[in-house]
Chains A and B, each alone.
Chain A
């Protein structure tokens, strides 16, 4: 009783009343466009619904169907392969770039801009230009490869082995600048005095980076790792624009598969159950990363 009175007082007391009123527009947005749909999607996942006829309650059948669907495991494997490669490359390459562009070199601003440009380029443009580049017979990439003496260059988007690799290349290229900027911010937070002290102790270039830069960058690396894991499990636009999951389902990632089930086959229930499984996967991965961070992330 006392607790409720307290709460009532807190809500009605002038300050918090105004505070709640002011954040209401944002809060309402989240409620209407996120929380309610999330609950709604869970309810749909328990039904069979094609948007046309009335939904039919089927309990957990969509989930059992999903678990017994061989395509589901293929899709999961492809998505994981994509995610692992993209996360790995999105840490290594931007980190190296950031260290390089943190030096005082000529044309620094130009380089930084160049690497950041893909980030602000719309995905549609990126996808179209890269599919021209990857074109097996008219594309510039295979033209250059044949010039360098490779007689049978890959067919890229038309080959079930190379298509996923092509997609990985594009998405790493697209995000390199974004993660580079995050790493640059991290690098600039490392005090110069540490490097000076190391130099006095006789440390050289690579040793300084291994013993000072890398440990002090671990919080940033952790952040990039979590963010890129989440975003690469949700990859959709590149697949939609470049391969539509093909050839032979070799680039069928989970969100594109979900989209196909929902908006091509109109299996809304099944698609919602895929969404929930994806949610659980991402949640688990993030929790694992959170637990493991104590083992390798350094805090001052």
Chain B
């Protein structure tokens, strides 16, 4: 206050000028900075999930893309956990990223809200990506009601991982291409080993997951269905489906060749396989990078055993979509073209993480390379042909939650599949309406 008073009326003119100049300097600097010709960079955002290995591929790809297109800046939004919760929030907040990584199971919800663009016209005009490059089945997984909503990156399906060393030790034949469920059960029985001291199971023939993704191939293989033709009625309680699922559950309870939930405890089913506490494990391609690193034994993959209708697998997939509210559809498409290009997909494939949706990459040595396990990677591609795409319904989360809840007592041997599924039929039918 004292200072202000001193600069008041008693101030000389010279002094006043110097103050004005002092005041002007920051204003001029500010002007010089802000009046600089602004760089016209287009900023697009890109959201993805993924482990560290995946991000380590994506980040350099984005850098290369930015180098190629100096006028585009890509903001990577990495959401490793609860991905779709976050995307839902971003949609509600009107902040949908321009490019969104998505899987087929969550596609219908977003499609019904018209969140994604139809990419059919884009891919037809594109000179970099062609529809023909992809497995037609994978294009189906990324489409909903005749709209192509995402450019597929990968296909997921389910195979059988097996520990060759344990097969050798117990003199059991490796799984053959056309083996049946009966042969599968015999194999699992031979590989279930009890300890001498307390008759506890030391080695399980197989470890089984309980989520639908893992047992749906068993349903398809025996001619069962999840829903009816137009996904409006629940059919998992029909005779064939029930029998197939009962066989899957019996592996735990009746035959006890697979661990029950309390026997695995805090170990995941994959961990049991890694620790050689189970000789076989049913899962998808995404385990390969971890298995290559962690498995201290010889291993390979085989196709799932045949049911009455053969060995019919599921097919799921993920890919890149463009937000329908994006302000830069052209740039977003350019990013997708880059991410989905053969060179980029090769990088993804080399880590072992994915089954490429691009069939030229899939049938190349980059995917099938024989130096690294699994030797039999071709199985992932062979089973695509007859595969049944997982039904696309809007309320998938609720339906699977209902099924999972109903099956919980079944996995513990307290109820039968048929009885449990009949009880939820009406509830699920309501969800399908």
Question: A: which residues have CB within 8 A of B?
Answer: 50-53, 131-132, 135-139, 155, 158-159, 246-249, 260, 263-266
Contact = CB atoms under 8 A, between A and B. Distances in A.
A158 B261 contact: yes
A249 B405 contact: yes
A70 to B, nearest CB: 11
Interface string B269-305: 0000000000000000000000000000000000000
A52 B102 CA distance: 15
Contacts of A53: 112-113
Interface string B102-119: 000000011011010000
A139 B398 CA distance: 33
B25 to A, nearest CB: 33
Contact of A139 (B82, B110, B112, B265): B265
Nearest to A135: B265
B265 A248 contact: no
Given A52-B88, A248-B408, A131 B266 contact: yes
B397 A264 contact: yes
A246 B409 CA distance: 11
B165 interface: no
A248 B402 CA distance: 11
A50 B109 contact: yes
Contact of A137 (B88, B265, B409): B265
Nearest to B91: A52
**Which applies to chain A's interface (DSSP): helix, strand, loop or mixed?**
loop
B262 interface: yes
A155 B88 contact: no
B197 interface: no
A263 B405 contact: no
B398 A51 contact: no
B318 to A, nearest CB: 19
B261 A247 contact: yes
A51 B408 contact: no
A159 B260 CA distance: 12
A52 B115 contact: yes
Contacts of A135: 265-266
Contacts of B110: 52
Contacts, number: 58
Given A50-B109, A246-B408, A138 B89 contact: no
A21 B412 CA distance: 62
B425 interface: no
Given A248-B405, A248-B409, A249-B405, A266 B88 contact: yes
A263 B91 CA distance: 13
Contacts of B261: 158, 247
A98 B250 CA distance: 53
Contacts of B109: 50, 52, 266
B190 interface: no
B263 interface: yes
A137 B110 CA distance: 43
A33 to B, nearest CB: 16
B186 interface: no
B140 interface: no
Nearest to B261: A158
A159 B88 CA distance: 34
A292 B166 CA distance: 67
B88 A158 contact: no
Determine which residue in A52, A136, A246 has the highest number of CB atoms from chain B within 10 A of its CB, and name it. Answer: A52
Contacts of B112: 52-53
B401 interface: yes
Contacts of A137: 262-263, 265
Interface in B223-275: 261-263, 265-267
B395 interface: yes
